[in-house]
Structure 1
């Protein structure tokens, strides 16, 4: 082998730098992938999907490329210069040193200082990256806490809205929406089981005039008082009382025929007449229309049953008020 071939072979220092570069190229992506996976797991608590995995892969590639570039600029390049200087010194060992040969030592010290400064800068850069990652994790944790709080508030508001959509806000009893659903359900059950079902529509007589004389507050108190009376009178699990709007209420009485419902409603009307109103003045009477479905007296639909009770209430109003009228 000629001397020229020997000179072209890479030196041990060059081979060492190449080996170091190869190890860094293999190790940094693995370390970054592990760090990013642990960080994502600590945030999400579950395995990433395909889209998130692709995003993490690009993040690892970019982070590894940046770190390799920093290592190349701040550590490997000075080491290459140092290796070249060492090789030059070794090649000159066999020949007498010139008069200025003592200048190699200061140059070597300068290279070592540069390497030390490069390693310090690399360490500072890694520390800053760790601080940035910690700050990012704190921000994400705070955002997650705020998101959980917002979701809890939204759920509470949703439940409140759902409750308001099914409850009359003034009296606290069911509203017309709830009554309509219950009427259809109980009517189908009565048809299927051939059982009884009574519907009563109740209306306070001359309520608007009462409001004009005594004020809206007294009128609202009277509506609340009637709702309380209905709740205490009809308290079976199957009974339902609701406010249809204004001064009009309704009672749904499964299992009651015309005679049973008539007796209870007459008693209710007498009890209401005996009550004193909140302001102690004036008197509100109650008109009631009653309809009942039975195998002997069926109705075609739930709406037809309710309409029969409404027509009976109309008759009670035009017959002098303060009375109970039965559907034909």
Structure 2
């Protein structure tokens, strides 16, 4: 089967064709030159042989420079093109370019997403730190609030100057103990105590000495009435009250008389003088009941009024 040389690969066919062309030119140029020289000799020229050689060499050099060398360069270019990767056709290049552009967009979006996630993580950490600080501050505020509530509750039941129970807390305790005494058919004594001429004492020695004297009297009352069930309160000013569960009139009277004696001997701050005490005493018992806790306290207060008008520095018993 006949095979056309044009069907051969370009990298093998092109060098072979250049070699054949060079051989033909090499043979044809001298013959052509000889023919020209023969014609010249026939016309009467000399030195034919040397002239043929020189013309042949000149022609071969010109052919090499102007024809064969460009052809070799063209062959080399064709060989390079043959070995180069086959480029994509325009129809194929467009999807690839679109895919590259889409991939670039996806990469840009992923970078933005990573930056956004990093910023969100930083914000979340900062928020957690702030929440931890707020939680600590809240716990501290809660602890401070509880402390204030305890202090307020204490102040609501304690007299600020003397540390004794205040009137509100005393009323609650009086009602509770009165009901207990009624249920158990027990004894309950209430004594109202008032310092004699205390206003004159303040005028003579000053309010600071008066406050110190009230504190000293309060300490004496706490020492005297120290059972767990005893309650001593400051009703206001120089007036005090003692609640003595389980005591009848006789037992309470003995304790209060001793208290009056101790108060006369009490050394006040800076030796500013002495104080005396007037006392009104009432006691509830099965034999001598009262209708209410308030009635019992009022009976003791009325007895104090009698003691005051009878000359002070004495103890008066409720009828």
1-side partners of 2:197 and 2:268: how far apart? 14
1-side partners of 2:289 and 2:275: how far apart? 34
Report how far residue 173 of structure 1 moved: 1.1
TM-score under structure 1 normalisation? Answer: 0.67
- Write out per-residue CA displacement over residues 20-59 of structure 1, whole angstroms, 9 at most, x where no aligned residue: xxxxxxxxxxxxxxxxxxxxxxxxxxxxxxxxxxxxxxxx
Q: What does residue 271 of structure 2 align with?
A: 280
Report how far residue 101 of structure 1 moved: 8.0
Q: What does residue 184 of structure 2 align with?
A: 193
Given candidates 103, 108, 116, the residue that maps to 2:107 is: 116
Report how far residue 124 of structure 1 moved: 1.3
Report how far residue 121 of structure 1 moved: 1.6
Matched position secondary structure for 1:195: coil
Which of 200-209 and 292-301 deviates more? 292-301
- Write out per-residue CA displacement over residues 185-238 of structure 1, whole angstroms, 9 at most, x where no aligned residue: 111111111111111000000101100110111101111111111111111111
Given candidates 175, 178, 182, the residue that maps to 2:166 is: 175
Matched position secondary structure for 2:194: strand
CA pair 193-105 structure 1, distance change in 2 beyond 3 A: closer
- Write out per-residue CA displacement over residues 293-327 of structure 1, whole angstroms, 9 at most, x where no aligned residue: 11111111111111111111111111111111111
2-side partners of 1:137 and 1:150: how far apart? 19
Given candidates 85, 89, 108, the residue that maps to 1:97 is: 89
**Bigger radius of gyration, 1 or 2?**
2
Matched position secondary structure for 2:250: helix
Q: Structure 2 matches for 1:231-250, cutoff 5 A?
A: 231-250=222-241
1-side partners of 2:256 and 2:299: how far apart? 17
2-side partners of 1:196 and 1:204: how far apart? 27
Given candidates 270, 284, 293, the residue that maps to 1:293 is: 284
- State yes or no: 1:211 paired with 2:191: no
1-side partners of 2:124 and 2:261: how far apart? 77
8 Å CA contact 2:265–2:274 kept in 1: the answer is no
Given candidates 226, 250, 258, the residue that maps to 1:267 is: 258
TM-score under structure 2 normalisation? Answer: 0.68
Which of 148-157 and 258-267 deviates more? 148-157
CA pair 97-302 structure 1, distance change in 2 beyond 3 A: closer
8 Å CA contact 2:190–2:244 kept in 1: the answer is yes
2-side partners of 1:176 and 1:105: how far apart? 95
Report how far residue 285 of structure 1 moved: 0.8
- State yes or no: 1:255 paired with 2:246: yes
Given candidates 296, 307, 311, the residue that maps to 2:298 is: 307
Matched position secondary structure for 1:279: helix
Q: What does residue 318 of structure 2 align with?
A: 327
Gaps of 5+ in 2: 1-86
Matched position secondary structure for 1:275: coil
Given candidates 162, 187, 191, the residue that maps to 2:153 is: 162
CA pair 300-101 structure 1, distance change in 2 beyond 3 A: closer
CA pair 111-259 structure 1, distance change in 2 beyond 3 A: closer
1-side partners of 2:99 and 2:283: how far apart? 110
Aligned pairs, how many? 234
- Write out per-residue CA displacement over residues 126-185 of structure 1, whole angstroms, 9 at most, x where no aligned residue: 222222222222222222222222111111111110000000010011111111111111
